[in-house]
Amino acid sequence: MKNFEADTINETQAIEHLKIFYPSIQEEIAQLSAQNNFAGVIQSTVDHLKVLLKESKINIVNRNIKRMEWIYKNGTSNVKHLIENMFIRSFGSLKRHTDSQQWKILYQYIPVKFQQIYLNQTKLDEIMFKKN
Model pLDDT for residues 30-80, shown as the tens digit of each residue: 999 999 999 999 999 999 999 999 999 999 999 999 999 999 999 999 999
Helix axes 26-34, 38-54, angle to 10 degrees: 160
pLDDT digits (tens, 9 = 90+) for 16-35: 999 999 999 999 999 999 99
Residues whose CB is less than 8 angstroms from the CB of residue 61 and which lie 6 or more positions away in sequence, other chains included: 49, 52, 53, 94, 106
pLDDT grade for 129, boundaries at 50, 70 and 90: confident
Find the largest Cα–Cα distance for the chain.
Answer: 53
Confidence of residue 4 (pLDDT cuts 50, 70, 90): very low
**CA angle (80 as vertex; 66, 87 as ends), nearest 5:** 55
Backbone phi, psi, residue 9, to 5°: -90, 120
Q: Do 119 and 127 touch, CB atoms closer than 8 A?
A: no
Average pLDDT over the chain, rounded to an integer: 91
pLDDT of 6: 52
C-alpha to C-alpha distance for 113 and 10, rounded to whole angstroms:
20
> Is residue 114 exposed (0-12), middle (13-18) or buried (19+ Cβ within 10 Å)?
buried
State the pLDDT at residue 131.
56
Over residues 79-105, mean pLDDT = 93
β-sheet bridge partners, residue 9: 75
pTM for the model: 0.86
- At residue 1, the pLDDT reads 38
Query: For position 2, what pLDDT does the model report?
Result: 43
3-class secondary-structure state, position 79: helix
